[in-house]
Amino acid sequence: MAKLTVEDLQLEGKKVLMRVDFNVPIKDGVVGDDNRIVAALPTINYVLDHGGRAVLFSHLGRIKSEDDKPGLSMKPVAAKLEERLGKPVQFVPATEGTELETAIDQLENGQVLVFENTRYEDVVNGEYVKRESGNDPKLGEYWASLGDVFVNDAFGTAHRSHASNVGVATAMKANGKQAAAGFLMEKEIKFLGNAVDNPVHPFVAILGGAKVSDKIGVIDHLLNKADKVIVGGGMTYTFYAAKGIKIGNSLVEEDKIDVAKEIMAKAGDKLVLPVDSVEADKFANDADTKVIEGDIDDGYMALDIGPKSVAEFKNVLKDAKTVVWNGPMGVFEMSNFAKGTLEVGEFLGTLTDATTIVGGGDSTAAAKQLGISDKLTHISTGGGASLEYLEGKTLPGIAAISDK
Ligand code: AMP
Tens-level pLDDT at each residue, the chain (404 residues): 689 999 999 999 999 999 999 999 999 889 998 989 999 999 999 999 999 999 999 999 999 999 999 999 999 999 999 999 999 999 999 999 999 999 999 999 999 999 999 999 999 999 999 999 999 999 999 999 999 999 999 999 999 999 999 999 999 999 999 999 999 999 999 999 888 889 999 999 999 999 888 898 999 999 999 999 999 999 999 999 999 999 999 999 999 999 999 999 999 999 999 999 999 999 999 999 999 999 999 999 999 999 999 999 999 999 999 999 999 999 999 999 999 999 999 999 999 999 999 987 788 888 888 888 888 999 888 888 999 989 989 999 999 999 99
pLDDT at 360: 78
The single residue of 36, 119, 160, 177 carrying the catalytic annotation is 36
- Convert the chain into a string of H (helix), E (strand) and C (coil): CCECEHHHCCCCCCEEEEECCCCCCEECCEECCCHHHHHHHHHHHHHHHCCCEEEEECCCCCCCCHHHCHHHCCHHHHHHHHHHHCCCCEEECCCCCHHHHHHHHCCCCCCEEEECCHHHHHEECCEECCCCCCCCHHHHHHHHHCCCEEEECCHHHCCCCCHHHHHHHHHHHHCCCCEEECHHHHHHHHHHHHHHHCCCCCEEEEECCCCHHHHHHHHHHHHHHCCEEEECHHHHHHHHHHHCCCCCCCCCCHHHHHHHHHHHHHHHHHEECCCEEEEECCCCCCCCEEEEECCCCCCCEEEEECHHHHHHHHHHHCCCCEEEEECCCCCCCCHHHCHHHHHHHHHHHHCCCCEEEEECHHHHHHHHHHCCHHHCCEECCCHHHHHHHHCCCCCHHHHCCCEC
* Ligand 1 center from residue 340 Cα (angstroms): 12
- Is ligand 1 within 6 A of the CB of residue 211? yes
Domain final residue, candidates 132, 162, 184: 184
Looking up residue 211, the CATH number of its domain turns out to be 3.40.50.1260
The single residue of 15, 75, 211, 368 carrying the catalytic annotation is 211
Task: Clarify whether residues 169 and 200 are in a common domain.
Answer: no
Is 179 inside a domain boundary? yes
Task: Clarify whether residues 340 and 235 are in a common domain.
Answer: yes
* 314 tagged catalytic: no
**Residue of 247, 253, 278, 331 with the most ligand 1 atoms within 8 Å of its CB, for mutation:** 331
* 384 tagged catalytic: yes
Task: Clarify whether residues 176 and 195 are in a common domain.
Answer: no
Domain final residue, candidates 162, 184, 206: 184
- Is ligand 1 within 6 A of the CB of residue 327? yes
Task: Clarify whether residues 211 and 343 are in a common domain.
Answer: yes
The ligand 1 atom nearest the CA atom of 208: 4
Domain range spanning residue 175?
Answer: 6-184
pLDDT at 1: 62
Is 363 inside a domain boundary? yes
* 361 tagged catalytic: yes
* Ligand 1 center from residue 327 Cα (angstroms): 8
Task: Clarify whether residues 180 and 263 are in a common domain.
Answer: no
Domain final residue, candidates 143, 166, 184: 184
> Domain total for the chain?
2
Please tell me the residue having the least CA distance from ligand 1 atom 1: 209
pLDDT at 35: 87
* 130 tagged catalytic: no
Is 131 inside a domain boundary? yes
pLDDT at 381: 80
